Amino acid sequence: MPRIAVTVDGVKYEEEVEPRLLLVHLLRERLGKTGTPVGCDTSNCGACTVMLDGKSVKSCSVLAVQADGCDIVTIEGLGANGSMHPMQQAFHEEHALQCGYCTPGMVMAAIDLLRDNPDPSEDAIREGLEGNLCRCTGYCNIVRAVRRGAQEMGQAVRTP
């Protein structure tokens, strides 16, 4: 079996994996990172979105062997020193979830969107999150949360 080395949420792992093992299954079943859910079998929903070398990917559509040598950040790696990431906090404040299943992917996709556009309009947020489905259809609060998260993150950058 191929042997791979990955860094997940700042911790290095070496694992022997079957070629068919999906990245999301490596994260959940081998490394215990169950914060990243599996939402669909069709690459549509984006619930399993993580950062791979700094860019959002759907971890159900990446083989673990393809991630060899890569740096992965999941929803569990966002917070620091026991406090939530500003985008997680914004989702909390704006009540940007109903069942919560899509939330980890939404938060990761939102953070990815801000790499490009630190102050996105409502339209830009809706377009930026086009790969993530909220089956509860609670998009209004999600968009509000991303606006708020962006403002908080902008503040955090501006205030040293």
Partner 1 sequence: MIPAQFDYVRAGSLGEAVQELAADEDAKVLAGGQSLLPLLRLRLAYPSKLVDVGRLPELTGVHDRGDHVFIGAMATHDEVMRSGVVNADCPLVALTTTKVADPAVRHRGTFGGSLAHCDPAGDLPAVVLALEGVFVTRSPEGEREIPAAEFFVDYLESALRPGEILVGVRIPKLGAGWGYHYEKFHRTAQSWAIVGVAAAVKRSNGAIEEARIGLTNMGPTPVRARAVETALRGVQLGDQVRQACEEAAADTSPPSDLHAQPDYRRHLARVLTHRAILNAAGSP
**What backbone torsions phi and psi does residue 116 show, to the nearest 5 degrees?**
-85, -40
* Cβ distance to partner 1 smaller for residue 34 or 44: 44
* Cβ distance to partner 1 smaller for residue 19 or 118: 19
* Cβ distance to partner 1 smaller for residue 6 or 109: 109
Min separation Cβ 81 and partner 1, Å: 28
Min separation Cβ 60 and partner 1, Å: 7
Min separation Cβ 82 and partner 1, Å: 29
Contact 16, 28 (CB under 8 A): no
List b or e across 63-90, with b for residues whose CB sees 16 or more CB atoms inside 10 angstroms: bbbebeebebbbbbbbeeeeeebbbbbb
- Sequence length of the chain is 160
Note the residues at the interface with partner 1 (CB under 8 A).
2, 18-20, 22, 25, 41-44, 46, 49, 52, 55-58, 60-63, 65-66, 68, 109, 112-113, 127-128, 130-132
Place of tokens 């959940």: 28
- Which residues have a Cβ under 8 Å from the Cβ of 147 and sit 6 or more positions away? 120, 122, 125
Rounded CA separation 136/119 (Å): 26
Min separation Cβ 134 and partner 1, Å: 13
* Cβ distance to partner 1 smaller for residue 14 or 130: 130
* Cβ distance to partner 1 smaller for residue 60 or 142: 60
**Tokens for 57?**
């990917």
Min separation Cβ 59 and partner 1, Å: 9
